[in-house]
Structure 1
Amino acid sequence: MSTTTASTPTASNTLLLRRQLAELTKHPVEGFSAGLADENNYYDGIEGGFFKARLTFPPEFPLLPPKLRFITPMWHPNIYPDGVVCISILHAPGDDQYGYEDAGERWVPVHTVESILLSVISLLSSEKPNLDSPANVDAAKEVRTDFAAYKKKVRRLVRRSAEEVFE
């Protein structure tokens, strides 16, 4: 059995990540276009898409979850103002100290890059975002108080993102 320090990925971790990325390339998730940020470093991240985002992996992957951060400005209750996505499967395994999530909703090593992307698609396409523990309190407040204004702001960001992609 091999051990690793917190900053050194093992060969088996790298192989697992390489396989998941190859599978994603062969069978892309509808609505996502992605590639490695650095062809020589699988852990540095995957990025791409209509909404630009970066998925970065810790050396302990798959024992610990990756982080997903949108580079494109986003306005969503479950996305922090700095673009970091707040969904249960990207939270470290174990019990939630605040009691919002069951341990079974959080990261488990069977999750794949594909399951993460599908969760993000679900998050973005949901008509009503989760407002129980918002990452962006202002966006959550706007959803509660003026849903029409919230949707207008989101549409404006989508248009701006589309214009940047197709310019």
Structure 2
Amino acid sequence: MTSTDSSALLLSRQLKDLQKNPVDGFSAGLVGDNIYQWEIMVMGAPDTLYEGGFFKALMTFPSTYPIMPPTLKFASEMYHPNVYPDGTVCISILHPPGDDKYGYEQANERWSPVHTVETILLSVISMLSSPNDESPANIEAAKEYREDYPQFKKKVQRLVRRSADML
């Protein structure tokens, strides 16, 4: 069995598990019939700024999954310190395994093959509720989050309303 075969098998199993035992806060399905491209819907968690929002994202898996991490990119507009302006999510567990060349993250905070789609998405939901503005992907959002929280909150609430209207 090739690594591509085993990664496809693992992804199929994870998708079946999520469909059998859905997790609050997100849903996942394939883009077409490509096991390496998943469409994700993240629901803004209660008691967070993103509450009531519905945010589409695309999770793309390498053929070397689970050795290497997938990427997650919001297709819906997202304003958050840990999401690049192009929508790409920047959290430690999605960074390649091993030591961080910048010395910011420890190896145990980065990708590990024990992570699943479920653990990744639970981390994203956690990220939405508590941003890490010490290591921002979106510098403008992090600065506003720290220095003008009411304005940051207003922008996020506008996105939440827009996301709900898009459904």
TM-score of the alignment, normalized to the shorter chain, above 0.5: yes
Give the CA deviation at 1:13. 1.2
TM-score, structure 2 length as denominator?
A: 0.89
Which of 13, 16, 26 is the equivalent residue of 1:32? 26
Q: Does 1:63 align with 2:57?
A: no
Which of 107, 132, 137 is the equivalent residue of 2:139? 137
The residue type paired with residue 37 of structure 2 is: D
The residue type paired with residue 101 of structure 2 is: Q
| 1:152-163 mapped onto 2 (5 Å cutoff) | 152-163=154-165
| 1:15-164 mapped onto 2 (5 Å cutoff) | 15-39=9-33, 41-49=34-42, 50-126=54-130, 129-164=131-166
Q: Secondary structure at the match of 1:54?
A: strand
Query: What stretches of structure 1 of length at least 5 have no aligned partner?
Result: none
Q: Secondary structure at the match of 1:160?
A: helix
Q: Determine what percentage of the aligned residue pairs are the same residue.
A: 63
TM-score, structure 1 length as denominator?
A: 0.89
Q: Structure 1 residue runs of 4+, over 4 Å off?
A: none
The separation in 2 between residues aligned to 1:33 and 1:20, in whole angstroms, is 12
Contact 1:37–1:47 (Cα < 8 Å) also in 2: no
Q: Secondary structure at the match of 1:43?
A: strand
Deviations 1:90-145 (A, max 9, x none): 0000111111110000000010000001001101122xx11111000000110111
Q: Secondary structure at the match of 1:47?
A: strand
Considering fraction of residues, name the structure with more strand.
2
Q: Secondary structure at the match of 1:42?
A: strand
Deviations 1:50-93 (A, max 9, x none): 20101110010000000000001111000000000000000000
The residue type paired with residue 73 of structure 2 is: R
Report the more deviating stretch, 9-18 or 57-66.
Answer: 9-18
The separation in 2 between residues aligned to 1:160 and 1:32, in whole angstroms, is 18
Give the CA deviation at 1:48. 3.3
